[in-house]
Copies of this chain bind each other. A is one copy, B any other.
Amino acid sequence: MARTAGSHSDITGPRVRAAALRLFARHGFAAVSMRRIAGEVGVQAGALYNYTPDKQTLLFELMQTHMEDLLADFARLESGADALARLEAFTRFHIDFHSSRPDEVFIAYMELRNLTPENFAVIESLRGAYEDGVTAILRQGQAEGTFALPDARIATRAVIAMLNGVNTWFRAGGPLTLGQVGDIYWDMVRKAVSA
């Protein structure tokens, strides 16, 4: 427990981010103090400033990392298939990815208004890129004649909003596996966009 014995930069840094993530998700950015984050990590508040220039940057980097991870994994999905297969892959991917990172997802959606305008613009652009990827699948399906949608952009948002809802109720270890949840939502998504 010799916390003052030496250097821990490679250990403390991740622990600071993990504690901030957890606390921001539970109580909200504005309601969590630097002192409380420090207490969670086991250091004094001043020590946090070895790892972040300020609280705002701590929030921003958590959100930025999350969105970049999301985009990177999304980009790995098969892009050569037909739109129906791609949409199913997306549906299951989105559910899996988001349910594996509930705290990150919660923050990314709830704390946008606590970002500075510059930081907000960065996150919004990442979110827009993700939406663009989904819209591309829907437009492909329109071109192939399998999807019937009055507005692909609105359908994109509707599908994403529906899938995001999973995180408000799903808990691992509950009556349903994630695969079963994927089946249920894919059934609804498929029918919702079908011609």
The count of identical subunits is 2
- Bound Cα distance from A160 to B166, whole angstroms: 12
Q: Is the interface of A mostly helix, strand, loop or mixed?
A: helix
Contact A150 B192 (CB under 8 A): no
A164: which B residues are within 8 A, CB to CB? 161
A26: which B residues are within 8 A, CB to CB? 113
A118: which B residues are within 8 A, CB to CB? none
Contact B31 A150 (CB under 8 A): no
A59 CB-CB contact with B under 8 Å: no
Chain B CB within 10 Å — which of A30, A113, A154, A193 has the most? Answer: A154
Contact B189 A114 (CB under 8 A): no
A162 CB-CB contact with B under 8 Å: yes
A157: which B residues are within 8 A, CB to CB? 165, 168-169
A151: which B residues are within 8 A, CB to CB? 184
Q: What 1/0 flags go to A89-115 for Cβ under 8 Å of B? A: 000000000000000000000100110
- Bound Cα distance from A41 to B157, whole angstroms: 36
